[in-house]
């Protein structure tokens, strides 16, 4: 299996651009919305330590595998497998990734649209003087109607399309280099304000002081699943982005840096949220409702809360946008390279199709609430199928491909940039990919299907 040429494809121009784009893909609502409440439900500090261990043991090796497949194959998620395993059915892994990306974009745009609505609500000071019950009623009244959620969903998809249509270097990389530093800055401002609140120490203690008595199998599985989903593994984004990485870049360093950035954002989100939650006596295990039902009320109680509410929801929308860009690119890259479409046509067609399906997801909270398939709403069905089935199955097949099908020499050749770099822990890496990662991901899949541990319904992928 030889390394394949770039053939003039568009690609990332700088290491910083790669880190911003790949980290932007990994950093989404999952870090800022899902991580804090999963940590809250799973005991705080002990969960955080276990999560970090799984990122190191599982997340980085699997991310590295996807980067290698993409850069060596020099094609989209499907095309890279076809090139690296010609005549073999491994390309079905790419097919699963593309289908998962399409499904995720459809339901992800629903939640992303909500963040835009809440920016407007924050700017117009709509939360002022409202009780927690009234704020919850406000959210229910908004997301169960048809017009406004769909309007914001369409606006969000237009923003995503605008960036993707400009290409990899002039679109994805260019905007990622602007959006990601801005996102980090906003989150740092939020975290600083949160830890200066009276009673914030209790929140920091909850997040960072381990209580291992709270650790059981469900906490281990929750940490394992969060480590997997937060890095956007198994859905073709990292393979696609990997194909845009120049041969001179060090894949090992990039995987570590992107994983560290993703984890740092998740921890910063915890620092921004938990001190405020404890300062105002809110249950840290409040579930996903923390974001739309609880935090607006907290902002109203803190000095300067008007501005911090705006900052927070702008932060959420940026995180959603950087993820949606990478998700749409998976589908667009497939259509341009395999179906030979122009980027403009591929972007418009794939976005229109995802938006059409996404409208049913949005309406499933309101006018189509009674429409269910196997007992699930359209939103929940797409979420469950992508997050609980396709992503872990795709991740499992990726590590099996790299660990057992791909030649170790080819994998090392790509990691070492054709022998120019030393790969000091190659043996450890291959052991993790051959034996540990498949078992760990199989546990995630079995847990997602309800065969072991509690079923985690309605997960948010990563993003």
Rounded CA separation 408/173 (Å): 31
Domain annotation covers residue 59:
yes
Q: For the domain that residue 29 is a member of, what is the CATH number?
A: 1.10.4160
Q: What is the pLDDT of residue 461?
A: 47
Domain annotation covers residue 199:
yes
Domain annotation covers residue 4:
no
> Residue 237 in 3-state DSSP?
helix
Domain annotation covers residue 137:
yes
Rounded CA separation 432/62 (Å): 9
Q: What is the pLDDT of residue 409?
A: 96
Rounded CA separation 322/316 (Å): 10
Domain annotation covers residue 34:
yes
- Number of domains composing the chain: 1
Dihedral (CA of 389, 54, 241, 409) sign: negative
Q: What is the pLDDT of residue 207?
A: 87
Q: With contact defined as beta carbons under 8 Å apart, do 149 and 367 qualify?
A: no
CA dihedral 455, 44, 263, 29 (to 10 degrees): 50
Of 220, 195, 201, 199, the residue nearest 46 (C-alpha): 220
Q: What is the pLDDT of residue 457?
A: 40
CA dihedral 374, 377, 380, 384 (to 10 degrees): 20
Domain annotation covers residue 146:
yes
Rounded CA separation 414/328 (Å): 26
Q: What is the pLDDT of residue 194?
A: 92
Residue 373: what are its φ and ψ, rounded to 5°? Answer: -125, 120
**Which tokens in the block code for residue 129?**
């003087």
Q: With contact defined as beta carbons under 8 Å apart, do 176 and 329 qualify?
A: no
Q: pLDDT in tens for each of the 463 residues of the chain?
A: 444 444 568 999 999 999 999 999 988 887 887 787 788 778 889 999 999 999 999 999 999 999 999 999 999 999 999 999 999 999 999 999 999 999 999 999 999 999 999 999 999 999 999 988 899 899 999 999 999 999 999 999 999 999 999 999 999 999 999 999 999 999 999 999 999 998 899 989 988 888 888 888 888 988 888 888 788 888 999 999 999 999 999 999 999 999 999 999 989 988 998 898 888 887 766 656 678 888 898 898 888 999 999 999 999 999 999 999 999 999 999 999 999 999 999 999 999 999 999 999 999 999 999 999 999 999 999 999 998 899 999 999 999 999 999 999 999 999 999 999 999 899 999 999 999 999 999 998 998 888 886 544 444 444 5
- Eight-class DSSP state of 457: T
Rounded CA separation 73/326 (Å): 18
Domain annotation covers residue 303:
yes
Rounded CA separation 64/395 (Å): 12
Domain annotation covers residue 8:
no
User: Which residues form the domain of 350?
Assistant: 15-448
Q: With contact defined as beta carbons under 8 Å apart, do 31 and 230 qualify?
A: yes
Of 318, 394, 406, the residue nearest 101 (C-alpha): 394
Q: With contact defined as beta carbons under 8 Å apart, do 74 and 83 qualify?
A: yes
Q: What is the pLDDT of residue 459?
A: 40
> Residue 279 in 3-state DSSP?
helix
């Amino acid at each position: 299996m030889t390394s394949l040429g770039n053939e003039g494809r568009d690609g990332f121009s700088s290491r910083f651009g790669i880190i911003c784009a790949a980290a932007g893909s990994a950093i989404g609502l999952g870090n800022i919305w899902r991580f804090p409440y999963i940590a809250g439900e799973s005991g705080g500090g002990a969960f955080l330590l276990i999560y970090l261990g799984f990122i190191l043991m599982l997340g980085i090796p699997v991310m590295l595998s996807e980067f290698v497949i993409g850069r060596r194959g020099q094609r989209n998620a499907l095309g890279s497998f076809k090139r690296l395993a010609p005549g073999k059915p491994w390309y079905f892994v790419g097919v699963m990734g593309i289908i998962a990306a399409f499904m995720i974009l459809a339901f992800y745009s629903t939640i992303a649209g909500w963040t835009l609505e809440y920016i407007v609500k924050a700017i117009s000071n709509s939360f002022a003087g409202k009780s927690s019950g009234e704020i919850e009623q406000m959210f229910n009244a908004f997301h169960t109607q048809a017009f406004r959620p769909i309007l914001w969903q369409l606006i969000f998809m237009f923003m995503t399309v605008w960036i993707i249509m400009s290409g990899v270097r002039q679109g994805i990389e260019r905007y990622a280099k602007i959006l990601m530093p801005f996102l980090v800055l906003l989150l740092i401002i939020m975290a600083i304000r949160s830890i200066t609140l009276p009673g914030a120490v209790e929140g920091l203690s909850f997040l960072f002081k381990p209580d291992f008595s709270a650790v059981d199998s469900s906490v281990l599985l929750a940490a394992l699943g969060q480590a997997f989903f937060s890095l956007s593994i198994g859905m073709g984004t990292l393979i696609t982005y990997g194909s845009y990485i120049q041969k001179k870049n060090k894949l090992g360093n990039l995987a570590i840096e992107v994983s560290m950035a993703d984890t740092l954002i998740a921890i910063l989100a915890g620092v921004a949220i938990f001190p405020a939650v404890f300062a105002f006596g809110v249950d840290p295990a409040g579930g996903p409702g923390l974001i739309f039902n609880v935090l607006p009320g907290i902002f109203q109680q803190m000095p300067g809360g008007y501005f911090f509410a705006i900052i927070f929801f702008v932060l959420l929308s940026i995180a959603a946008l950087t993820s949606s860009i990478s998700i749409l690119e998976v589908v667009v890259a497939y259509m341009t390279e395999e179906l030979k479409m122009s980027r403009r046509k591929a972007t418009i067609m794939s976005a229109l199709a995802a938006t059409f399906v996404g409208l049913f997801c949005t309406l499933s909270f309101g006018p189509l609430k009674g429409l269910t398939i196997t007992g699930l709403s359209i939103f929940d069905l797409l979420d469950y199928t992508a997050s609980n089935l396709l992503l872990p199955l795709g991740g499992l097949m990726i590590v099996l491909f790299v660990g057992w099908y791909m030649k170790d020499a080819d994998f090392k050749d790509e990691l070492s940039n054709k022998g120019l770099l030393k790969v000091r822990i190659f043996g450890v890496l291959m052991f993790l990919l051959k034996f540990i990662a498949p078992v760990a991901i199989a546990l995630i899949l079995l847990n997602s299907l309800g065969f072991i541990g509690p079923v985690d319904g309605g997960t948010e992928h990563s993003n």
